[in-house]
Amino acid sequence: MDKHYLTPLFQPDTIAIFVGDHDDPDQQTNHARNLTAALTAQPFTGKFVFLDIHTSGTLAELAQTRADLAIIALPPTEAVAALEVAGRIKCKAALVIGSGANADVAADMHQVARRHGMQLLGPNSLGFQRPRIGLNASVAGPLTRVGPLALVSQSGALTSSILDWASQNGVGFSTVVSLSPKTAVDIAQVLDFLASDAQTHSIVVYMEGISNARRFMSALRAAANAKPVVVLKAGRKPAGNAAAQTHSGAIVGSDDVFDAALRRAGAVRVRSFVELFSAAKCLASRYRPVGKRLAIVTNGGGPGVLAADWVSEIGLQLGKLLPEAVAALQPQMPALATLNDLIDVSEEATAEHYRAAIDAAGRDKTVDGVLVVHSPKAGVDAADVARAMAELKPQLSKPLLCCWMGDASVGEAREVLGKANIPSFRTPEAAVGAFGNIASFYQNQQLLQQTPPPLSTLAKPDIEGARLLIENVLTERRKVLTEMESKALLSAFHIPVTQTILARSANEAMMIATQLGYPVALKIDSPDISHKSDVNGVALNVLNATAVRDGYNTMLQAVAKLQPGAKINGVTIQKMAQSKRGRELCIGLVTDDPFGPVIAFGAGGTMIELIDDRAMELPPLNQFLARRLIERSRVAETLGAWRGATAVDMDMLEHVLLRVSEMVCELPQLREMDINPIIVDENGAVAVDARIVIEGSPATARNYAHLAILPYPARYEQVWPLRGGGEYTIRPIHPDDAQMLQDLVQNLSPESRYYRFVSSMTELPASMLSRLTLIDYDREMALVAIHRTRQAGQDGERVETERVVGVSRYITNPDKSSCEFSLVVADDFNGKGLGSRLMLSIMEEARDKGLTEIEGLVLANNPSMLKLMKGLGYQIKPFPEDPDFKLVTHSL
């Protein structure tokens, strides 16, 4: 049960191959002929069984055949019959090669596969390759060489092209998978398999679209947490939605949202085919996480300046040596060397000069990576310089990249660099771009580690009041909230708003304005008008009662002329915000298909579409994510002290973003929202105008089903009494628990470790530790028992320390209705009721998710665990696949 459910597909021992008549001239027969040749062109570590559904005997005879995987290369109608046969001989997976299956035939295949519990790759697939076991189950070309990269592609043509390119460039793969639009096994499931595949060190993905954002994000986050993932996406759409009813909806395009999703998942996005493999090559080097500061060592000013220009162009920083490092290095350099910005070792530099410069940059704490740009020079052996780099590389803890310019004279040098696994590029821009991908990976990994709850630690919002307001609007069959309703919704979440009062006549407007105090702003109030300024529906800095009266009447006339059918509720009056140097910002919400709600931030005001400043993040947010969202916007540069203006209250701005995140999480009816402008200065923030669009939502949305990333499930945190005195807390695990989980495992007795992991390991490997603490709360759950004690600190004061003393977890099985559990309790906490409580809690959570059965494997020689299972009402049965285990199950 420890094997991944796709193991029978990608790591089969026996394969049943269904092919037709090779003499038939149609295209499907071509596929069958090519497939047979591809399968038998090299030795396979398993066994092949060739079957023909027309001549392979009776079902009784076929029943004697057993296989893990069925590979079918038949016309679509015959392929359905072959799938039935594959199901009856107990195949756990099937691959349907070829083309021509329409939607109806594909649906029939999916139904057959579901009925027999088979994982189906196809139809209309080119297949897959697993070079290490000699398996070429594809018609995409010859078996590629063995390597650490995995390729997942949603384009058959591109798969073949990449394999052809790779064969000429020395690139090898652990796995190659070609996915068709109608396949049952989708990109999320393949990523999930590759995340735990020991042969795969990094993953490159070419994709055109996804059908289920939650499942895709879940798998991508798991994969990117375990190894680098680089994504090339086709079909980038321009920003803009003509039907949008808010500014945010008009300027945010689906490609922007995809960017935000990949960042949050910890993956790296590239824009071109060439970048795809250069990024994977660099990230597969497994350099430690780095920042943005790239030092450039060069023997030519021109190429060095080109590299420095590109550093600035893509948002990196030029790494400069500290003054003391410059002073120490200068005597070792040629007389013409300059070291203040670029590390220009001059045209006279030899291999030893390069070695000294690279070593200095590698040791400097202000440098995150080193790029060596070398131009051919008479009297300097480029291969010697490359050998110096290769010798120095093991001593460096930072990324080392190079750009060897030229061609004829640097061939040997490139070979030396390739053997040393030093990424080498032919242009400065490509090399800098590759380092940019490494830096992006580090930054995105920081985003990946964030697991915010749906509600922040700020004062509790009035969620029920907000839901009641929305229900009232929907009852009136409206979707667009008025300005006053929008501001009431913001107020329910403690977002500061300007006081706004609706006037239904010119006289009312004058009285309200007088009470509020001048100057005031007048705004048309209509559910049919999205952008008030477009219909002359805004008047600012109105100074007296006469101007209010005239402005009211003029506004109604202008709106009636420019938008005659609009329903007019009246005119809202609000006092002008009195911030002379406040910054006008916009915080918005858009709903993307398929990623759901996305929070947007940028410059606000009436020219928002022209400025086109938007940064985006998927909810939920915490303070770290809110700060990063602000930093990605162009307007961020104006938020500090700027041209005589005091720096804005960043804490308050972050709090507003956290409040918007709370709204998005708790109000699934929200579709679009603009807070524009929200004026921010050193004293705080205030929403001057707001517009919100809503729609009805299904009941499941209350469980955050509308979000692409499930929030941290803080609602499962509970405090329980400890048998013998004291108490402990059970709560869902999060990434910060990694060291406490490691301590728990290290302090277990050898017997307890073996019972839990069926292994003699003394500690969790880093990759496994990361995988166990950063989980997807949608498809799995881990509950930790935290015991707190107070101990004397170094200064004599008593400090509280936390310790993980038990963990229960489950992972949902592929059938989506059952799950597999595990349990471990610290030895010194055995017999105190923790095991029972952890199991009951994890069962309750699984029941809450809609699962119907929980199961697990227990070593037959673990009597205390078997006793616990029996006491909890589990059925204990022999495990057919291994007599050393018992299978324990419980209905939920």
Q: How many other β-carbons are positioned within 10 Å of the β-carbon of residue 331?
A: 7
pLDDT value for 419:
83
Average pLDDT over residues 241-264: 66
State pLDDT tens for residues 519-541. Answer: 999 999 888 887 788 889 999 88
For residues 753 and 773, give the distance between their C-alpha atoms in angstroms, rounded to a whole number: 18
For residues 735 and 772, give the distance between their C-alpha atoms in angstroms, rounded to a whole number: 9
Question: What's the chain's Rg over C-alpha atoms?
Answer: 32
On average, the pLDDT of the chain sits at 87
Q: How many other β-carbons are positioned within 10 Å of the β-carbon of residue 139?
A: 23
Task: Render 798-843 in DSSP notation, one character per residue.
Answer: EEEEEEEEEEEEEEE-TTSSEEEEEEEE-GGGTTTTHHHHHHHHHH
Average pLDDT over residues 698-709: 80
- Tokens 């990434």: give the residue: 735
State pLDDT tens for residues 79-118. Answer: 898 999 899 888 999 999 987 788 899 999 999 999 999 9
Written as one letter, the residue type at 887 is: L
State pLDDT tens for residues 308-329. Answer: 999 999 889 999 999 999 999 9
pLDDT over 70 (residue 620): yes
Q: Percentage of residues in the chain with pLDDT exceeding 90?
A: 50
pLDDT value for 248:
47
State pLDDT tens for residues 507-516. Answer: 999 999 999 8
pLDDT value for 425:
87
3-state SS string over 415-482? HHHHHCCCCEECCHHHHHHHHHHHHHHHHHHHHHCCCCCCCCCCCCCCHHHHHHHHHHHHHCCCCECC
State pLDDT tens for residues 144-153. Answer: 999 989 999 9
For residues 97 and 111, give the distance between their C-alpha atoms in angstroms, rounded to a whole number: 18
Would you call 441 exposed, middle or buried from its count of C-beta atoms within 10 A (0-12, 13-18, 19+)? Answer: buried
* CB distance 874 to 888 below 8 Å: yes
C-alpha closest to that of 192 among 150, 250, 232 = 150
pLDDT value for 445:
87
pLDDT value for 32:
78
Average pLDDT over residues 335-353: 90
- Residue 25, classed as helix, strand or coil, is coil
pTM of the entire predicted model: 0.85
Comparing 54 with 331, the larger pLDDT belongs to 331
Opening angle at CA 522, ends 517 and 527, nearest 5: 135
pLDDT over 80 (residue 249): no
Average pLDDT over residues 474-479: 90
pLDDT value for 240:
43
Q: Predicted confidence band at 28 (pLDDT cuts at 50, 70, 90)?
A: low
Sequence-distant (6+) residues with CB within 8 A of 309 are none
Q: Is the dihedral of CA 243, 245, 248, 254 positive or negative?
A: negative
* CB distance 884 to 859 below 8 Å: yes
State pLDDT tens for residues 194-215. Answer: 998 989 988 999 988 888 888 8
pLDDT value for 870:
94
C-alpha closest to that of 586 among 306, 252, 290 = 252
For residues 373 and 342, give the distance between their C-alpha atoms in angstroms, rounded to a whole number: 11
Which residue pairs, CB below 8 angstroms and at least 24 apart, start in 862-867?
Answer: 862/755, 864/830, 865/755, 865/823
Minimum mean pLDDT among 240-244, 285-289, 575-579, 604-608: which range?
A: 240-244
* CB distance 137 to 129 below 8 Å: yes
pLDDT over 70 (residue 236): no
Average pLDDT over residues 468-487: 91
Q: Predicted confidence band at 701 (pLDDT cuts at 50, 70, 90)?
A: low
> Would you give the DSSP letter of residue 369?
E
pLDDT over 80 (residue 393): yes
Q: Percentage of residues in the chain with pLDDT exceeding 70?
A: 92
Average pLDDT over residues 861-886: 92
